Amino acid sequence: MRALITGGAGFIGSHLAEALLDAGHEVEVVDDLSTGSMENIEHLKNRHGFQYVIDSVTNEDLLAKQTDRCDVVFHLAAAVGVKLIVERPVHTIETNVHGTEVVLTQANKNSQKKKLVIVASTSEVYGKATEIPFREDADLRLGATWKHRWAYACSKALDEFLALAYWKEKELPVIVVRLFNTVGPRQTGQYGMVVPNFVKQALAGQPITVFGDGSQSRSFTYVGDVVDALMRLVDEPKAVGEVFNVGNGQEISILGLAEKIKEMTGSQSEIVKVPYDQAYGAGFEDMPRRVPDITKLQKFTGYEPKVQLTEILTRVIAHFQKG
């Protein structure tokens, strides 16, 4: 198989590229390095069957050629990270909506050889839904349009609608995956993500910044488990036209996470609470809880998350200690 990974120099994309190469597939990457980096794919550059292009996923001529050469597209390129999304809402909406439009158009253009597209969506689409755990068929509950965080959820929901519309109307094979908080080595804390931020703060002896009162919870998934789920899904014909949560149901509060990281690093850091307004600007809304129901993914693919939180944190801490 030859796979195109948009956003392949990103955190998840680079892990996926490596796993596909390890499994004997060919991999082509397109990435504009907006949040990804060359460092993430440095170790892949000389691997047999690996190719990369530094450019935007919105470059239609390039995407036309790349989709022609491949059998499957993993569309991961997107504006991600709460900090980036809040600071650059125009960029977020345009990248996420237009990028997906280009990928789907190009994957669909040859009626004899339509390409399978895996569209990366997000648990953020559930918004403020309160029926825990989140099931794929649940109603979505987004906040007001002047609260820019929701632009991300909305842009990703539109990507889902568009992908499923291509399947229904044009029979383009698509699979939508809603990724829950994915963590692991190579994720940077630059765009807001909590685990790398807490680990860096703890290792540097700086205050560990818990936003809000810390009672909000998340369930973290190891990047290797996400990659495993994506690879299983492309091998499952029944997955086409479906939406899947990809995650790990183990939940922890953010304050609990801060305490765990402090303990595991042996850090002297103080845990401080920072009001949301101060962290992300006035009127910011967070989700109180976020837990996936992964029964559907398990039923279709036999997926089982293998790396649990303590081991995930051990690996992330080791990554940052290595420098």
> Per-residue string for binding with ligand UDP, 21-50, x by CB under 6 A?
------------------------------
Partner residues linked to 296 by β-bridges: none
Considering the complex, state which of residue 108 and residue 181 has its C-beta at the smaller distance from ligand UDP.
181
On whether the CB atoms of residues 214 and 147 are closer than 8 A, the answer is no
Q: How far apart are CA 216 and CA 239, in angstroms?
A: 32
Q: Which of 37, 51, 58, 216 binds ligand UDP (CB under 6 A)?
A: 216
Range in contact with ligand UDP (rule: CB under 6 A) among 56-64, 208-216, 243-251, 300-308: 208-216
User: Footprint of ligand UDP on residues 281-310 (CB under 6 A)?
Assistant: 286
Range in contact with ligand UDP (rule: CB under 6 A) among 8-16, 154-162, 206-214, 236-244: 206-214
> Residue 74, interface with ligand UDP (CB under 6 A)?
no
| Angstrom distances, CA of residue 38 to CA of 33, 43, 95, 231, 271 | 7, 9, 20, 23, 33
Q: What is the CA radius of gyration of the chain?
A: 19
> Residue 59, interface with ligand UDP (CB under 6 A)?
no
| Helical H segments across the chain, by residue range | 11-22, 38-41, 60-69, 82-87, 89-108, 149-170, 194-204, 223-234, 254-265, 276-280, 295-301, 309-322
> Residue 210, interface with ligand UDP (CB under 6 A)?
yes
CB of 280 to ligand UDP, least distance (A): 8
> Residue 108, interface with ligand UDP (CB under 6 A)?
no
* DSSP 8-state symbol, 26: E
Q: How far apart are CA 265 and CA 78, in angstroms?
A: 32
Q: How far apart are CA 194 and CA 199, in angstroms?
A: 9
Within 8 A by CB and 6+ apart from 111, the residues are none
Choosing from 126, 152, 166, 191, which is the catalytic residue?
152
CB of 10 to ligand UDP, least distance (A): 15
Considering the complex, state which of residue 125 and residue 210 has its C-beta at the smaller distance from ligand UDP.
210
222 catalytic, yes or no? Answer: no
Active site amino acids: 152
Query: What residues line the site for ligand UDP (CB under 6 A)?
Result: 82, 124, 181, 192-194, 197, 209-211, 216, 218, 254, 286
